[in-house]
């Protein structure tokens, strides 16, 4: 891990430099400004479509610009690849929403609501969209223009009077939507004597910090939250200057709704806000305007992206008046992932962003996966399933080949049950437990067992979990250990007993096949050196087969099936390897492991090991370190652990 941490670090540096270069390039993006007349002449004609994009179309263009490969003719968006793992379904739905809305579907007139359990990646998803928009707006394809000084950086085309719009459409082939805002309307009269062709236009760049095209609203305290936070209010300091409260210049245009115009408005914990907020937002998405008491309707085009957690949503559902509101939302669920490998990647990401004290601690190669298995177990449907069924489910969701399950069953298990992924522990919970294990023990190396204990501690000390739940969670820890960690660590230690496990296993497999084929053909086997002929080695065959409980009566059909598979592979021009046949894989491994177990017995049996024994053990330890991702501490622990396991078998 130390090695991979180094190369990760280098990679990160490289990526950072690349980003910096890209960033400066972007900032050389052509800034442009000029009066409307010049805009119409110089900027518009090259791409009239780009100038009339709605916020949904703009975001959809951004998503496509970020790139994505087609997977079975389906667009897979790259924007989220480096940051979000295991929630592809939710991401796909979000992408589909933008695709449909960009194409003019009715969904574009509904508010998008992400719904999911805490720390499930909702905010991260929105952040990635926001960063994506900022980046895109610096590119040529993402060039966007607005009226300079306009509080909603509105499209310059709003200045084109309605009577001229039909001929605009005939000239440029695109439709203008939207009206000039009250603020600009007044400026045209007062500053430019009605000559709108003189209104200043500029290229705009989306920026959350600059409050252009991106707005964020979080209710601090729902009871004092005021509609003014969203749509502004009279700016008393300016009333004196303009002499009239109704003057748009005396209005404070600081609301999040204005900032987000043309882009994205993120509404955090949206269901906590007062209902009048919700009505305003729903009208905004539906009608593309906001009503502020003293002005005519203000045209605003933006995409509202809201999120909330399940508890809040259930409370919201309880009020019947809210049902009508729900009709005007598109709800996308963002459940936790059920894939333990994806879950482990989340931990990896969170760790690499953590304090150095955390990052530098060595974790044995199964820490994150075992913790992830535990997390997934808590998220699965808790039915009448036996432990072994639960484990099987975890393996299938994790994309493991589980031979004993017939394919239709696997499909059925992969289909999520209603509540799955919406409950259970969050990635945060695991990371917090990990970090407290590190801080408390001051350790430089944590083993999976250390972490399982830390998780147990975290569960038992968590006041939010009720006692019954706690017992269940502890059972899941035991299950994760028994069905996953034990299997993984045993395999590592066993493999480390061999100079080249893969080679020896392949040799043994080849030998097994030769003997089986000779046996089925009633052939003799010729010794390659002495040329003597002998009968196939039935005792060897049975020794291998018994490892996976093939009975004497079942051996014939098992052998035939193996040969059939081997022939199939041969015909396809492939090599028949251990990966081609899961049961045989197990059998060969166990046969080999059985042969070397005596070394492991030495670990525990000799109280005062002599030099030779020490030597043998240290060779295994070294292989664990060099080839299997352990450090010397965790390698020793793993050896001891596996020795104890074997003693219990």
Ligand X SMILES: Nc1ncnc2c1ncn2[C@@H]1O[C@H](COP(=O)(O)OP(=O)(O)OP(=O)(O)O)[C@@H](O)[C@H]1O
Residues that bind Mg ion (CB under 5 A): 123
Under 8 Å between Cβ of 391 and 479: yes
Classify 243 in phi/psi space as left (phi over 0), alpha (psi -120 to 50) or beta.
Answer: left
Whether residue 396 contacts residue 402, with contact meaning beta carbons closer than 8 Å, is answered with yes
Residue 193 C-beta: closest distance to ligand X, Å = 50
Total site size for Zn ion, rule CB under 5 A: 5
* Residue 305: CB atoms within 10 Å: 25
118 touches ligand X (CB under 6 A): yes
How many CB atoms within 10 Å of residue 322?
Answer: 15
Q: Given candidates 124, 198, 283, 382, which one binds ligand X under the rule CB under 6 A?
A: 124
Q: Which residues contact 226 (CB under 8 A, 6 or more apart)?
A: 233
Instruction: Give min distance, CB of 425 to ligand X, in A.
Output: 12
From the list 16-24, 111-119, 251-259, 504-512, the region that binds ligand X by CB under 6 A is: 111-119
Q: CB-wise, 235 or 517, nearer to Zn ion?
A: 235
Residue 119's binding partner among ligand X, Mg ion, Zn ion, none (Cβ under 5 to 8 angstroms by kind) is ligand X
Closest Cα to residue 432, out of 334, 354, 370, 341? Answer: 354
Instruction: Decide: is 219 part of the binding site for ligand X (CB under 6 A).
Output: no
Q: How far apart are the first and last CA of the chain?
A: 31
Closest CA to 36 of 202, 200, 205: 200
For residue 367, the minimal CB distance to Zn ion (Å) is: 56
154 contact choice in Mg ion, Zn ion, ligand X, none (CB below 5 to 8 Å, kind-dependent):
Zn ion
CB of 340 to ligand X, least distance (A): 12
Report the partner that residue 536 touches, choosing among ligand X, Mg ion, Zn ion, none (CB closer than 5 to 8 A by kind). none
Q: Indicate which of ligand X, Mg ion, Zn ion, none lies near residue 309 (CB less than 5 to 8 Å, by partner kind).
A: ligand X
Decide if residue 346 touches ligand X (CB under 6 A). Answer: yes
Which of 123, 139, 167, 352 touches ligand X by CB under 6 A? 123
State yes or no: residue 85 binds ligand X (CB under 6 A): yes
Name which of 181 and 329 has its Cβ closer to Zn ion.
181
Q: Which residues pair with 144 in a beta bridge?
A: 204
Nearer residue to ligand X within complex by CB, 251 or 336: 336
Of the candidates 64, 101, 102, 121, which one interacts with ligand X according to CB under 6 A? Answer: 121
User: Cβ closer to Zn ion: 183 or 211?
Assistant: 183
Distances (CA, A) of 275 to 223, 253, 279, 308, 630: 12, 22, 6, 15, 56
Q: What is the DSSP letter of 417?
A: P
CB atoms within 10 A of CB 615: 10
When the beta carbons of 337 and 378 are compared against ligand X, the nearer one is 337
Closest separation between CB of residue 352 and Mg ion, Å? 21
Piece of the chain touching ligand X by CB under 6 A; list 113-121, 139-147, 298-306, 360-368: 113-121
* Given 309, 391, 435, 448, the residue binding ligand X (CB under 6 A): 309
Indicate whether 427 belongs to the interface with ligand X (CB under 6 A). Answer: yes
What is the smallest separation between the CB atom of 161 and ligand X, expressed in angstroms?
A: 44
Task: Using the rule CB under 6 A, give the single segment among 25-33, 116-124, 202-210, 255-263 that binds ligand X.
Answer: 116-124
SS3 string, 293-362, reads CCCCCEECCCEEEEEEEHHHHHHHHHCCCHHHHHCCEEEEECCCCCCHHHHHHHHHHHHHCCCHHHHCCE
Q: Report the candidate in 491, 550, 553, 593 with the shortest Cα–Cα distance to residue 562.
A: 550
User: Shortest gap between Cβ of 253 and Zn ion (angstroms)?
Assistant: 9
We find the least distance from the C-beta atom of residue 123 to Mg ion, in angstroms, to be 3
The minimum distance between CB 90 and Mg ion, in angstroms, equals: 14
Smallest gap, in angstroms, from Cβ of residue 599 to Mg ion? 51
**Residue choice 36, 40, 62, 87 for contact with ligand X (CB under 6 A):** 87
78 binds ligand X (CB under 6 A): no
Site for Zn ion in 139-158 (CB under 5 A): 150, 154
- Which single residue is written with the structure tokens 């200045």? 159
Burial class (CB in 10 A: 0-12, 13-18, 19+), 45: exposed
Residues 183-242 that bind Zn ion (CB under 5 A): 183-184
* Spatial contact of 125 and 84, defined as CB atoms under 8 Å apart: yes
342 by Cβ neighbours in 10 Å (0-12 / 13-18 / 19+) ranks as buried
Cβ contact 214:133 at 8 Å: yes
CB-based contacts of 294, cutoff 8 Å, min separation 6: 245, 246, 251
Among Zn ion, ligand X, Mg ion, none, partner that 150 touches (CB below 5 to 8 angstroms by kind): Zn ion
How many other C-beta atoms lie within 10 A of the C-beta of residue 424? Answer: 22
Long-range contacts of 386-393 (CB under 8 A, 24+ apart): 387/479, 387/483, 388/483, 390/479, 391/479, 391/483, 391/484
Give the footprint of Zn ion on this chain (CB under 5 A).
150, 154, 181, 183-184
Give the footprint of ligand X on this chain (CB under 6 A).
83-87, 116, 118-124, 309, 337, 346, 349-350, 427-428
């Amino acid at each position: 891990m130390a090695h991979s941490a180094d190369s990760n670090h280098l990679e990160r540096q490289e990526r950072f430099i690349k980003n910096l270069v890209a960033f400066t390039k972007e900032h050389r993006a052509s800034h442009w400004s000029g009066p409307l007349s010049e805009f119409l002449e110089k900027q518009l004609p090259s791409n009239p479509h780009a100038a009339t994009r709605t916020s949904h179309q703009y975001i959809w263009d951004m998503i496509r610009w970020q790139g994505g490969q087609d997977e079975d003719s389906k667009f897979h968006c790259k924007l989220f690849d480096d940051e979000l793992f295991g929630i592809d379904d939710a991401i796909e739905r979000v992408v589909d929403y933008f695709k449909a809305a960009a194409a003019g579907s009715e969904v574009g007139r509904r508010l998008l609501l992400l719904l999911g359990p805490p720390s499930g990646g909702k905010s991260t998803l929105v952040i990635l969209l926001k960063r994506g928009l900022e980046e895109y707006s610096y590119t040529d394809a993402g060039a966007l223009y607005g009226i300079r000084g306009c509080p909603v950086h509105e499209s310059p085309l709003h200045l084109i009077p309605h009577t001229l719009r039909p001929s605009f459409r005939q000239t440029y082939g695109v439709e203008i939507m939207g009206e000039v805002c009250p603020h600009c309307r007044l400026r045209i009269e007062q500053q430019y004597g009605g000559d709108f062709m003189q209104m200043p236009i500029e290229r705009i760049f989306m920026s959350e910090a600059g409050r252009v095209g991106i707005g964020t609203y979080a209710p601090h305290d729902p009871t004092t939250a005021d509609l003014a936070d969203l749509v502004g209010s009279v700016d008393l300091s300016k009333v004196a200057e303009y002499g009239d409260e109704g003057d748009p210049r005396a209005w404070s245009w600081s609301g999040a709704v204005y900032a987000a115009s043309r882009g994205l408005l993120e509404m955090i914990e949206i269901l906590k806000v007062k209902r009048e907020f919700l009505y305003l937002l729903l009208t905004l998405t539906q009608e593309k305007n906001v009503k502020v008491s003293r002005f005519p309707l203000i045209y605003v085009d933006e995409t509202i992206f809201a999120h909330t957690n399940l508890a809040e949503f259930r409370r919201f559902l309880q009020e019947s008046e809210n049902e009508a509101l729900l009709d005007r939302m598109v709800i996308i669920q963002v459940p936790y992932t059920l894939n333990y490998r994806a879950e482990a990647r989340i931990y990896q990401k969170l760790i690499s962003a953590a304090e150095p004290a955390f990052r530098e601690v060595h974790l044995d190669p199964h820490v994150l996966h075992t913790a992830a298995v535990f997390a997934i177990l808590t998220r699965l449907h808790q039915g009448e399933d036996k432990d072994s069924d639960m484990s099987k489910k975890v393996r299938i969701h994790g994309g493991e080949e589980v031979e004993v399950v017939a394919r239709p069953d696997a499909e059925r298990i992969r289909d999520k049950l209603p509540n799955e992924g919406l409950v259970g522990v969050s990635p945060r919970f695991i990371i917090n437990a990990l970090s407290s294990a590190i801080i408390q023990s001051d350790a430089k190396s944590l083993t999976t067992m250390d972490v399982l204990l830390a998780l147990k501690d975290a569960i038992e000390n968590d006041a939010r979990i009720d006692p019954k739940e706690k017992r269940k969670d502890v059972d899941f820890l035991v299950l994760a250990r028994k069905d996953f960690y034990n299997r993984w660590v045993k395999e590592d230690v066993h493999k480390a007993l061999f100079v080249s496990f893969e080679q020896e296993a392949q040799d043994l497999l080849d030998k097994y096949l030769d003997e089986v084929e000779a046996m089925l053909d009633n052939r003799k086997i010729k010794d390659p050196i002495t040329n003597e002929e002998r009968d196939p080695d039935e005792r060897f065959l049975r020794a291998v087969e018994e490892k996976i409980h093939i009975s004497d009566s079942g051996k014939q059909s098992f052998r035939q099936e193996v040969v059939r598979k081997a022939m199939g592979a041969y015909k396809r021009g492939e090599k028949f390897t251990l990966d081609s046949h899961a049961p045989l894989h197990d059998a060969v491994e166990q046969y080999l492991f059985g042969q070397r177990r005596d070394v492991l017995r030495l670990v525990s049996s000799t109280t005062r090991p002599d030099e030779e024994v020490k030597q043998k053990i240290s060779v295994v330890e070294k292989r664990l370190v060099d080839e299997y991702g352990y450090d010397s501490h965790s390698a020793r622990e793993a050896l001891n652990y596996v020795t104890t396991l074997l003693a219990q078998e």
